[in-house]
Structures are given as structure tokens and as C-alpha cells.
Structure 1
Amino acid sequence: MAPTKLKAAALKSKQQDDIFNVDPLINPVFKKGEIREYLITNPSEIILKKRSFVKNELFLVIALVIISFFIRLSKLSNPDSVVFDEVHFGGFARKYILQSFFMDVHPPLAKMLYALIGKIGGFNGGFEFKSIGDSFVEGVPYIFMRQFPALLGCGTVILCYLTLRQSGVNPIISFITSLLLIIENANVTISRYILLDSPLMFFIAASIYGWKKFENQVPFSFGWYKSLVTTGIALGLAFSSKWVGLFTIAWVGVLCIYQLWFLIGDLSVNGKKIWAHFFARGTILLGIPLIIYLISFAIHFNILSKEGDGGAFMSSAFRAGLEGNKIPTDITSEVGLGSVITLRHIDTQGGYLHSHDHFYPTGSKQQQITLYPHLDSNNKWLIEPYNGTIYNDTFVPLINGMKIRLKHINSGRRLHSHDEKPPVSERDWQKECSCYGYEGFAGDANDDWIVEIVPYRTKKSNAKVFVKAIDTIFRLRHAMTGNYLFSSEVKLPEWGFGQQEVTAASQGKRLLTHWYIETNENEYLPIEQKTIVNYPKLSFWSKFIESHQKMWKINSGLTDHHHWQSNPTEWPLLLRGINYWSKDHRQIYLLGNAVTWWATSLTIATFVIYGVFTVLKWHLGQPLSTNKEVFNFNQQTFSYILGWFLHYFPFYIMSRQLFLHHYLPALYFGILALGHLFQVFTNYLAGGSRFLRQISMSIVVIFLAISTLFYVNYSPLIYGTPWVKSTCELSKPFKSWDYDCNNFLRNIGEYSNVSDEIPKASAAEEPQLEEAKQTPKAEPKLAKEEKHIESPPVDQEEAPVQVVEQLAPPEVKVETPKVEEQQKQHIEKPVLEDIPSEEKKEDVEPKVDVIM
């Protein structure tokens, strides 16, 4: 008997080493308690051995590496011009290299990695990545920079294989499923260009793998802690690349709660160990991602040390810490009657209280009052007493409750309000603010305003009684009506040059009535009483909080319709893609592999229906299956579909622009679930029949072949290679697949006659080329430039509107017009005081990049 047993054990071991006969599963263990059976939750050490690499399995991994390298790394030099959101992320890499501050809606880690790769490749920041289709010049290591996301795309494929193996799928099915990811058209496309999606997908895949490996470890062993820390690091990297990483953290958190529920039900685990599980998981899985996130922002702020176009979105205190800033310094603190000041609005960042020699076309038709974001002499106001008397040679400080008037220095008219409707806002609780008066006019009671200091926002005690420049936050209450000087994000139309509306309001958000004095000059203040004040140096936490407030605000403002946006309801059915690039009779269009895409959606729908019926049967008294194949399928597929749900459903409650690439993390979870469906289909459903198993495996291979055919047929839309117009037209099962077949020539031979130089677009091509170029940009809604009288400020709500967040948030660019051009086109020429001419270019029209 002994030789027979040894022979059987040897045969079993040999079968286990055969990649075609690996059994990675063990039967679940139940024990009987006094009242009920309970599941033993502690993994057996046997499972670690069963899910480790077997003989010849390394060849499968090598094959995956070679195939993924070929598909993702080939033809990276094509096209040799800027594609899609390379406009933004290549531009961000440039700004990191130049250390120029910018504003974006995404965390900085992935962008900094691109900057590092560019720097290693010799990029000096000279190429601007200004527009889609701009040809790269010599010295721009764009191929090297594209290799980074391509390699991460290859890494995601390997992580897919390893994840499936750790979750109980045999090597062959894991290999086939990973091949489906390799040839998934959308994943190939996003991994070939300088975009955030590939790093994000890699870090999410690493998080999933780390978690699945952790689930197989013996609790509190070295491997258990190692896998837990690895998962935490990967979660931190994902979260620090894009806020979508929060959904992955949520997935791990929900699974922790799910597993702790079973731990509580496991009578073999005492309460002390349950608490140890809770604290170890919570500390590591939340603490490590938070630390990585904070470190990434600390590095971000340290690198972007110079004034840049993103500074327009930040407070003056923030900008004051940037090199080359134009924020006023050495300001006289003491404010009194006779002070010439500039008033700055706080919570909209709209800029300074401003007036100019132009009038409202409606209402009182008096001189306009606006907010203007740039240094200008039209921002200056003289503080007068309400009775018109200033005592010569006597400094009278401005105090809480004092009634004053504000006289516009350049026009001589006073800040005024009355019972007229505002020019734009239609709310009954808002009244018009204007500048009113004429030469020799002493003013009237509607020019009177009462200063009310806001104690809770004014930190220094002496600034809560006496108004101090920079330090005192106050409101201005109109003496006659009781309304407060107010401004929101509302912009005036063309006749107001796109500047921000200012009104007097009796309601509305209180914060929008808060102001402070930025510059102050007073000839009556004795020199010995003068105190100099500057903006305080912000701490890391202050910068961190302010930047996140702006990121959230801009991201929430991406609400305008975008030509390439789509709805979450369309994503699982792959009803529409995104145009990335169009040039030289070629096109790059983000489109998923429909075969894999639809199979994934069908898998999810089928499992949900199956799960509902299983639960109903259980409630009717039928026991749940304890077969190891079914048990593992239920457990693992549930966790992956939960991940799909958590990465998909949140988009239904977002009001911002949404695009197809937002679905890719959810799709990855769906592909993992599809792998488990293949596993149960080829093993459990085939029963013990070798013939049925071969049939089921053949069906899976046929599915792979069909998916491969789809990839090959639509590959010209991935690589931007020549395609034939007739083939293109036959490839459209839906009209919503709106890549433009008119872009392509009638036969392949015609491409040999296409000049290497950029041809002038034909009439048929021009609309498509224009749409492609506009995909990642969102221009603010401003009046036509030739009719502007004054440079409009950046609209922080609308700027991010038309983005293609890379499609997330798309990214918004507001181009900086040259001062010389403005002076030719504008009737009123704003005076930019004390700013060298070369600096005026940036200060006239800030430029803000926002990506989705």
C-alpha cells in the first residue's frame, strides 16, 4: 500500500505542476457551534502553496510580457504630434520643469512622474504642447515620455494575471483573460500617450493585486503585514494620481467591513483578534495613502516655486510665496479717512473693486462697478467721511461702525446704490451698485456705507476694532437700504467686458459680502505711527487646503456641454467614443473592444440576477452551495462586481462633464469578473467530463479569437495608421460611433502620395480637425475680443467648463493675450502699475489649466 500511496501522491504532484491541471482552490471549512455552523475565516497555508507559481507558468507570464510590449510599445513615434490631453499633461510636465505654478483638478503624482521622465529624457520645457496636432520639434523626448505609460500598461496586464491567480483562477484562464486586457482597444489607446489614465490603471491594478494576495495570508504573519502595506502604498499612489483612487480605497474599505462581519461570526476568533484586525487594517489602509497623498502635494508645492498662470486662481497670500509674483508688498497697515485703497473680494477671487468710464445700458445707466482681477489704477478708491469733511493734518483711523464714502480716484464718482435692479442678476434681494456723481457734486445719502468688521475672520485683536490693511475682514453696509456690498460668480456680458458683477444684497451667502484692503496710502498718517504689513507666509496646510478648495470648485464647474462627452448609461454598452486626434487622413479615436466590453457587461448583469435568485432560494430554506468552485466564484465575483459598482455608480450623481475613459477602472474590475466566469464555465459547469471541459475551453478560445479580430480591425483608430474609407464605413454598427470616415482615403495606395508635410485640411476635414483640437480645451464665455474694452478676468467657474478631463477634469486653458494687442484693440487701456512690460503679458489675462 505504501508504494501505491507514494505513487498516487507523486502523480498528484505532477498534475499540480502541469499548468493545464492546476487546482488553485480548497474546500471551505465549516465547524459546528452550539447553535449554528460557522465559516472558518483564517486562510490555510495550503492555499498559499496552491496559488504560487507552478512549473512552466513563468512561460505564460513571459508570453504576456512579449505580446503586451509588442502591442503597447510599437509605433509610439506615430503620430509625431500632440494627441488629445497631451496638450495638458505634456504641458504640466513642462511647467514642472520650468517650476511655473499651474492649477489643475487632479492630484500631482502622475504629472510629476511625467515631468521626471521628461527631465531624464532631456526635455528643457521649450516645447509648449499648446494645441492638438502641433508637431514635436527636435529635443522633445515625446517617445520616451510615451514609453512610460506604455510600460505601465504592460505592467497592468501582468498584475491582471497575478490577481486572477491569487483569487483562485487557474493559469490558462488567467492567461486568456489577461490577453483580453492586452487587446482591449481603449486600454491600448490610453497607454500609448502622455495621459493620466495608464498610471491610474496601473496603481489601481496594483491595489487590487495587493488586496487579493493579502486575503490569502495567515493573519498577523509577516506576509499578512507585507501584503497589507503593499496595498496601502498602491492605494496611496492611485489616490495621489487622480481622485478616482478614492473609489478604490472605498472598495477595500467595504471589503474590510464585509470580512470583519464574517470574522465576528467565526467563533474560533476571539474579540481581541477582531479588534486587532480592525485597527491594523484601518491604520495601514488609511494612514499610508494619506501620507503618500500629503507627500505628493508637499513635493508639488516645492517644485512649483515660481509665479505662473495658475496663480490667478489662488489668493494673494498664496501667490505672495511664489517667486516673481506681482503682489503688493510693504503695505501701510493703518487705514483712515483720506486713505487711497484697493478693496479685494475674498471668496470668489474675482479681484478688486473696480470702476471705469463706461455705463450700464439698463437700470440707472450710471457708471459700472465690477470686480477686476488685475492691478490697475481704476481699482483705487479714496475713503471720505460721510459728511465730506477731512480734518487737515489729522489722521482719523477707520473703525468698526464708521460711516464713510468711497470716491473713485480716476472718475471722481462715488460708490453708490439705490432701488434699481442689477443689470444681470434678477433676484429681488439684489440691487444695483454704480458709480455716481459729477464735478462739484458733494454726494448724497445713497453714497453712504457703514464699515462692519467680521470678528471671526479677523485674527488679530487690534484689527477687530481698527481697520487694518490685509488683516481686517469687513463688510460694507449701505446706510439707506441696509444691503451689503456683494459679488458672486456672475459675469457681465459684452458691454461689461466679461468682468464680475457687483451688487448690493440683503440675502445670499454671507461670505460673498466679505472684503479686505490690499493697498493703502494715507498722507495724513505720521511716519512715526506707520506700520508696514505684508501677506503672511502660508504653511503647507494652508496651501493644501486652499488648493483643494480651488480644485473642488473648478471640478464642480465643469458643467457645460462638451462635444465628446457621454452619459454613464452609455458606457457599459460602448455606445460612443472620443476623438483624440485627426490629421493627414488619419484619426485616433478612443473606442473599447466591443466583444470584451459587452461580455463584461453581460457577466455583471448575469451575476446580479444569479445572486438575487440564490439569496431568494436561501431565504426559502435551500442551503447555499459549498462546492469549492461555486463558493470561490461567488466570493470573488461579488468582490469584483462590487469594485465595478463603486467605480461606476458615483458618476451618476456627478453633474459635471463625463467621458468614456471614466469607465475604464470599472471595466478592469469587470474583466476580472469575466475571468472568474470563464473559470467556473470551464471547470464546474463542465463537470467531470473531459470532453465537456474541452468544448467549454474551445468556446473561451473562440471568444478570444473574435475579440482579437475586433482589435485588429479597429487598430487604425488606436495607432493613427492608414485606413480605407469603405472599410471604415462598414465598421460602424452604431451611428453614435462617430469617428469620421471622410478623414480616410479611398484606398491604401493613395497614402503613399500624401506629403510628409501637414496638408491643408479639406472642407470635409476641417470640422473634425477643429473638434479634435477643441476636445481638451474649455474657453471662458467672454465677449468677442475685438470688442473688448477691458481685459476680462478669468472665470473660475466657467473656465473648466468645456474640458475633456483628459477628459476629468478636461483641462481648461485660458490663453494670455499680449498687452500690445490689448492696447490696440481696447478702447480703455488699463494701467498696470509698477509692473515691468515683460510681466504685463501674464498679468493681463491669467491662464489656467484644468483637466478632468
Structure 2
Amino acid sequence: MTHLHDNVKHDGNSGLEWKSEPANLRRRRPLQKTAPSAASIPKLSTKAAPPDSETAKKSKNYRFISLALLTALSFASRLYKVDEPKWVCWDETHFGKMASWYINRTFFFDVHPPLGKLSISLVGYLTGYNGSFAWDAPGDPFEDHSYVGMRAYCAVLGALLVPLVFETVLSLSGSVRAASMAGACVLFDTGMITLTRYILLDAPLLFCIMATVWTFVGSWPHAHKDHPTWKWWMWCGGCGVFLSCAISVKFVGLFVVGWVGLVTAIRLGFLWAKHSHTPLTAIVKAVLHRGACLIALPVFLYFCYFAVHLRVLKFTGIGDGFYSSAFQSVLLGNPLNNATMPGEVAYGAMIALKNTKGNGAYLHSHPHPYPLEQSPRGNLQQQVTCYTHKDDHNIWQIRKIDDAGVIAVTSDVQLIQHGDLVRLTHITTGRNLHSHKVSAPITKIQFQVTGYGFNGSGDVNDLWQVDIENGRPHQPIQTMITHFRLVHYATKCILQSGTKQLPTWAFNQLEVTCNPRSKKTDYDSQLFHVEWIYFPLLPNITFSSHTPSFLSRFIESHQVMLKGNSQLKAREQDEPTASRPWQWPINLRGQFFSGGKLRIYLLGNPLVWWGNIVVWFLYGALEVFAGIRRKRAVGKGIDDSIKRALESFLPPCRWMFLGWAVHYLPFFAMGRILYYHHYFPAHLFACMLTGLVVECYTRLDHLATALKARYTAFVG
């Protein structure tokens, strides 16, 4: 698309040249008292005349030079001194450590899907990193360890954002000037430079989102209402690949999936409305074609990435406690891998109880009392929590109680059965699992659970009844298989593993309560199973037959990730880096990446960020202006020319504004801890919107200038 006045001849003075009239006719024309109507002025087209070969060559050169210059500057700014600082910066401590675990094939837990970490670890391995660096804390020096390759990989992905933005805006508008403007906004944004120079997931995420947008927009010119062309399959298939990559790096990649889905549905709706005579079968085919590329292909690839992830990580690690006993049993080196334990649970056995739900934790206690305000009558009772890691403080002894409520000592082996009354004694502290009618620390409508008594002695509030899921009389508890609830004998409340984190006085472990008013939604949180047992009087059996399938491991991985995401709450120590969504667009608060001699602070370029805010108002004015013109339903001439100019730019502006909203507004509904860098996917759409809106105003200004000159010539 060329300038609005490209079809007008130029002279050296006014900029416009019109066919001259005889002088005598001009002298005889009476002076007009009123302005001419819009219809009386010759129409000014917004479409360019067919360019000659020289003009086309210049336009192509202009595009190539602009793209090459922006790309070169982008790579130079991102890769310049990428090895500095020579120590760990901010979240490099997490993602660098995960790269080490991938290289060492050690299983770990993370709240993000695997592709971004897999790609970083692969690049690290290929560039000489052996996975031996500890990545303990920000500020740790790298010394002789190879880390530059992983940083350079992220920097290259960040550098590619500029040409992707350029090509996307060019496809939407046909304007090299608009594309250059949008690319420059990304190029000169200090926040974008900083965020993509370190070993973080943001560079892969932003690249995959932007590549998705580029390929999606690139498919539009090749779409056909009857049958797709091979170019359309190539572009739309590429979009599906990058969609799968975006959601496989971080779950916020789902926002670009939502944007693609919304835009596709809207465009198909317009197509159907415009071609109402189109057979329904053609519409169904169009939907199926897009579904194959934008749904089926990404889902298939997403499964593939997880298959690689689970295949690579085959050794047990520190994060396997977040997963079920069956999941852990396939990890080499895990105590449950090819484990041999008693198959049933008897009185006197030492056991570890794990909540059965996804991301279930272990029933845990430690020698620390509840604070005074949480203790009735000043009696400081011991904390009972749920803990997601394996620990000696997770072990309890299960004891039999006789009819008088006294521990029964028997010499023979007696299996625990459905309906039995038991007492659980904590091995390392000797306290009994206890509950009473005192409000829990956080969930006030439920009862507190504590450690009480000593070495098995206690009271009636230490007694619990075993309630096996769908149990029958005399049914025994089977290790790792049987799911059961513990019902408090005195109050009839049910032991429940909570999802809320306790304060620092409980080391941020999970709250355990006794729920007197159980609902269906609480059921999974109340089911426990015996994951580990020690009882030498019973024969051991192997549990290799309980190996889960890939699909069950895939589903459980997502349950654990989603649960972990929901538990990322802001803590006191997170205050210096956390922020709220309303602060992001106005660039109010950045984020520290590194201290010490070389201080690094993530903050956007104020000219770019505040300029984007101004553009939002300009875009709103365009929409209002266009709406008023539609209401007026004016005719040809001046109004028709402006209408065509608006129709060329408003639709792509709307797609970009929708992309910004989809990637930004959902954060207001999130309860988890949020950071400034979460805004950058939306920021990409804001930069593209800026290029389009500024170019639209430039075109309208050129049109107004041309119309003014023509009006002057007409009445002159």
C-alpha cells in the first residue's frame, strides 16, 4: 500500500498539478459564496495506481533496507556483552538449575510446561555446559562454567522479535513505514532488551507468541472460501506449530491461543455473512481445515513435548514428592521404584501418609508449637501440617485402641480394617495426631489439628476412625492402593489436607484441618493412602505392577503444575520484585535483576511505553470518528476517500488491540504473585498497534492535505 496521494501528479510549488483552464474562463467565474458539496468535488482515491517497475523496485529496496537495518541493530543490541554480568541474575537460578537437571536427567517439579527449559538445556549441552554448576542463588559467579551459549540463545530469540514485528505489521498494513515504526518500538525498548538477554523463559515465550502472530496473519492472503491453497496450509500449519510451542513454554501461551481462536471465529463469521449464498458444507470444510492446523496439530505436538520431557527425566529428584506414589515408582533411584514393602498395614507399623489428590502432600509434624494466639488457654500444642517433600518428620506409628480408649498391646499381627479406631503417634516427637473445637489458623470454619500428649498417652481427642473409600466390613488397608479418610472420633470432623499456605511460623507449609461440614468439593482433600511402610513382621511384596501409563502421568503432571501455580502467593520477601497489573502499562515499577557492582533493573523505555498509552487514546478517537461517519452515512467524494482510508487500517488495529487486551486483562483476575515481566507479551501487541495507528493518522493527514489543495484549486 502506498501513500494516499501517490496517484496525484506533483509540481514544485503546491505539490499538486491540475489540468489548466483557459484564462478567460477563469476570469469570468463568479465568486462562490458557499463551500461546494462533497459530491461536487472529484473523488480522491486511496488506492495507488499500478506502479511501474522502477517504483516497485524502489519500494522493494526500501523494505529490504529497513528490515535489514532493524534486524542488524536488534542483534547488536541483544548480543552486546551478553556474557556480563559473570554471575547469576534473578531467575537464572531457577531455569539454569533446571537446565542442569535436564542434562543430568534428574526429575524435578516446575509450574511451567517443559519446552522452554528443554530448549535452553539442549543449547547449553551443545555449547559445552555439563550441568555441574549449582545455581544456588543470584550473585553466584559462574567461574569456569559454560553459560554464554544459553544466554546467547535467549538473546537471539529476543533479537528475532524485531523482524517478526516488522513483517507482521507489513502484512497487515502494506506500509513499510508502519512496520518500521512498530519494529523500532521493540528495538529501542530497554525492557525488551534486558528481559531477553538472560537465561529465562521469557525470550522463548515472546518469540513463540510473535511467530504465532506472524504466521497467522501471513495465512490470511492465501485463504480461499472454497479450498485452501498450499501456501495457506504452509502458513496455517506453521501457526499451529508455534501455537504448540507457545503453550509448551508457559501456560500464558494460552492467551495467544485464545486470540487466534477469537480472530478466526470472527473472520469466519464475516465470511459467512458476506457470502450468505455459500453452502454450509464449504463453511464446515473451512472450520475443519482450521481445526486441523490450529487445534489438532498443536495438541499432538504438545503431547510430544511432554513425552520427551518424561522420557529424559528418568532419575528421582527433590521434586518428586509433589507427585503420587505411582508416579514416583517409575523414577530410577526413588524408594518406590521396584519397592518391596508389606502389602497390607498392621497395627504397630511405621507409615508415611500422603494425600491422594494431585499435588498431594505428606501428613507432617515438627517440634514447633502453634503461636500463642492459635493455642487455647495458652496451651502451646505442636504444629501439624502437610509437607510436599520427603522427610523423617512425615513418619507416624499407627496404634490400636481397645474399647476403653487405651492402647492395646498385642503380640500377634493384626491388620487395620475399615471402621477401626486408631491412634497415630508421630515418631520423631512422640505426639499424637489430635483435634479439638478450636478454629484452624487460616480456615476458621474448620477445626485445628495439633500434636498432643507424649509417647502415645493422650485423651479422647487423639482417636480417629478409619473410613475406607467404598469400604466394606473387615476390608484391610493395602499399601499404595487403598484410599481412606480419618474421621475424628469425638467431633466427627474429617482430617483434611488444605491448599492454603501457613505463615512463616509454620515454614510456609500447608494447613491441615479437621472439617466438620464436609462437601463434595472437599472429598479429594480428605483421602489419604499409605505410601511407605515399615513392619518386619509382614512379608514384603513388589509394587512394580502399579506403574502408571504415559497418559496418567501426563494428566497428573498438569494437575500438579496447575496446583503449584495457584499456590504462588506473594510473601513478604517478594515485595521488592512483585507488582500489580495496573502498574505495568504506565511503566511505574520495574524489577531488579541484579545488585552488586553491576546493577541491572528491568524497566521499559518511557518514550515507547508512554507513547503507547498516547496511541490508545488516538486509536479510540479513530473508532469514535469512524462510528460517527457510519451514523451519518455520507456519500462520495471527500467522505468516501476518508472511509476507504479508515477501512484499510481500523481492522488490523482492532486485531492488535484485541491481542493486547487478551494478553493483559486476565492478570487482574489472578490471585497468584505477579511480576512486571508478565506484561511483555501484551506490550508486543501495543507496539504493533502504535505502528498502525501512527501510520493511519499519517495517511489521513496526507489525504487532508491533498483534499485541501484540490478544494483550493476548485474554488480558486
Q: TM-score range by the shorter chain?
A: 0.7 to 0.9
Q: CA separation of 1:521/1:551 partners in 2, compared to 1, >3 Å: closer, same or farther?
A: closer
Residue number in structure 1 paired with 2:56: 17
Residue number in structure 1 paired with 2:653: 637
Q: Distance in 1 between matches of 2:144 and 2:707?
A: 60
**Superposition pairs of residues 249-268 of structure 1, within 5 angstroms:** 249-267=257-275
Residue number in structure 2 paired with 1:790: none
Residue 437 of structure 1 and its aligned partner are, at CA, apart by 6.1
Query: Equivalent residue of 1:244, what SS?
Result: helix
**Superposition pairs of residues 26-425 of structure 1, within 5 angstroms:** 54-55=60-61, 57-140=63-146, 142-219=147-224, 220-267=228-275, 269-327=278-336, 329-347=339-357, 349-352=360-363, 354=365, 362-363=375-376, 365=379, 368=382, 370-371=384-385, 373-376=389-392, 379-387=395-403, 395-406=413-424, 415-419=433-437, 421=438, 424=441
Residue by residue, what CA displacement relative to the aligned partner does 1:586-624 show, whole Å, maximum 9, x if unpaired? 422222122222222222222224324533553465579
Q: Is the 8 A contact 2:191 2:603 kept in 1?
A: yes
Opposite residue 186 of structure 1, the aligned amino acid is: G
Opposite residue 309 of structure 2, the aligned amino acid is: H
Residue by residue, what CA displacement relative to the aligned partner does 1:352-400 show, whole Å, maximum 9, x if unpaired? 3557697996337486362465443872313314336869675544332
Residue 118 of structure 1 and its aligned partner are, at CA, apart by 0.8
Q: Is the 8 A contact 2:115 2:245 kept in 1?
A: yes
Q: Distance in 1 between matches of 2:390 and 2:285?
A: 57
Q: Distance in 2 between matches of 1:414 and 1:10?
A: 89
Q: Distance in 2 between matches of 1:146 and 1:357?
A: 43
2:551 aligned residue (541, 566, 569): 541
Residue number in structure 1 paired with 2:9: none
> Is 2:583 aligned against 1:599?
no
Q: CA separation of 1:410/1:292 partners in 2, compared to 1, >3 Å: closer, same or farther?
A: closer
2:447 aligned residue (419, 430, 436): 430
Residue number in structure 2 paired with 1:449: 464
Q: Is the 8 A contact 2:166 2:179 kept in 1?
A: yes
Residue by residue, what CA displacement relative to the aligned partner does 1:494-543 show, whole Å, maximum 9, x if unpaired? 88677655443312523332222233455765x6xx75546822222222
TM-score, length-scaled by structure 1: 0.68
Q: CA separation of 1:376/1:204 partners in 2, compared to 1, >3 Å: closer, same or farther?
A: closer
Q: Is the 8 A contact 1:415 1:433 kept in 2?
A: yes
> Is 2:543 aligned against 1:504?
no
Deviates more, 1:148-157 or 1:506-515: 506-515
Q: Is the 8 A contact 1:414 1:447 kept in 2?
A: yes
Residue by residue, what CA displacement relative to the aligned partner does 1:21-74 show, whole Å, maximum 9, x if unpaired? xxxxxxxxxxxxxxxxxxxxxxxxxxxxxxxxx356433333233222222222
Q: Is the 8 A contact 1:492 1:501 kept in 2?
A: yes
Query: Equivalent residue of 2:169, what SS?
Result: helix
Residue 215 of structure 1 and its aligned partner are, at CA, apart by 0.8
1:479 aligned residue (486, 489, 497): 489
Residue number in structure 2 paired with 1:849: none
Q: Distance in 2 between matches of 1:531 and 1:151?
A: 53
Q: Is the 8 A contact 1:231 1:285 kept in 2?
A: yes
Deviates more, 1:619-628 or 1:549-558: 619-628
Residue 230 of structure 1 and its aligned partner are, at CA, apart by 1.0
Opposite residue 291 of structure 1, the aligned amino acid is: F
Query: Equivalent residue of 1:504, what SS?
Result: strand
Q: Is the 8 A contact 2:646 2:696 kept in 1?
A: yes
Query: Equivalent residue of 1:648, what SS?
Result: helix
Q: Distance in 2 between matches of 1:357 and 1:655?
A: 30
Q: Distance in 2 between matches of 1:157 and 1:266?
A: 35
Query: Equivalent residue of 2:481, what SS?
Result: coil
Query: Equivalent residue of 1:167, what SS?
Result: helix
Opposite residue 203 of structure 1, the aligned amino acid is: C
**Superposition pairs of residues 600-679 of structure 1, within 5 angstroms:** 600-619=612-631, 621=633, 627-679=643-695
Residue number in structure 2 paired with 1:41: none
Q: CA separation of 1:679/1:333 partners in 2, compared to 1, >3 Å: closer, same or farther?
A: same
Opposite residue 449 of structure 1, the aligned amino acid is: W
Q: CA separation of 1:135/1:690 partners in 2, compared to 1, >3 Å: closer, same or farther?
A: farther
Residue 143 of structure 1 and its aligned partner are, at CA, apart by 2.4
Structure 1: state its 5+ residue gaps: 1-8, 21-53, 694-852
Q: Distance in 2 between matches of 1:11 and 1:492?
A: 71
Q: CA separation of 1:237/1:431 partners in 2, compared to 1, >3 Å: closer, same or farther?
A: closer
Q: Distance in 2 between matches of 1:620 and 1:357?
A: 75
TM-score, length-scaled by structure 2: 0.80
Opposite residue 436 of structure 1, the aligned amino acid is: G
Q: Is the 8 A contact 1:363 1:423 kept in 2?
A: no
Q: Is the 8 A contact 1:109 1:241 kept in 2?
A: yes
Q: Is the 8 A contact 1:470 1:534 kept in 2?
A: no
Opposite residue 566 of structure 2, the aligned amino acid is: S
1:559 aligned residue (559, 562, 569): 569
Opposite residue 370 of structure 1, the aligned amino acid is: V
Q: Is the 8 A contact 1:422 1:432 kept in 2?
A: no
Q: Is the 8 A contact 2:581 2:668 kept in 1?
A: yes
Query: Equivalent residue of 1:96, what SS?
Result: helix
Q: Is the 8 A contact 2:384 2:449 kept in 1?
A: no
Q: Is the 8 A contact 2:464 2:486 kept in 1?
A: yes
Residue 415 of structure 1 and its aligned partner are, at CA, apart by 4.4
Q: Distance in 2 between matches of 1:314 and 1:115?
A: 23
Residue number in structure 2 paired with 1:577: 590
Q: Distance in 2 between matches of 1:180 and 1:377?
A: 55
Deviates more, 1:486-495 or 1:567-576: 486-495
Q: Is the 8 A contact 1:453 1:464 kept in 2?
A: no
Identity of aligned residues (%): 30
Residue 150 of structure 1 and its aligned partner are, at CA, apart by 1.9
Q: Distance in 2 between matches of 1:352 and 1:485?
A: 10
Query: Equivalent residue of 2:90, what SS?
Result: coil
Q: Distance in 1 between matches of 2:210 and 2:370?
A: 59
Q: Is the 8 A contact 1:405 1:415 kept in 2?
A: yes
Residue 122 of structure 1 and its aligned partner are, at CA, apart by 0.7
Query: Equivalent residue of 2:283, what SS?
Result: helix
Residue 569 of structure 1 and its aligned partner are, at CA, apart by 1.9
Query: Equivalent residue of 1:177, what SS?
Result: helix
Residue by residue, what CA displacement relative to the aligned partner does 1:623-656 show, whole Å, maximum 9, x if unpaired? 7967543212011111111111111111111122
Structure 2: state its 5+ residue gaps: 1-47, 710-716
Opposite residue 209 of structure 2, the aligned amino acid is: I
Q: Is the 8 A contact 2:663 2:681 kept in 1?
A: yes
**Superposition pairs of residues 708-747 of structure 1, within 5 angstroms:** none
Residue 117 of structure 1 and its aligned partner are, at CA, apart by 1.0
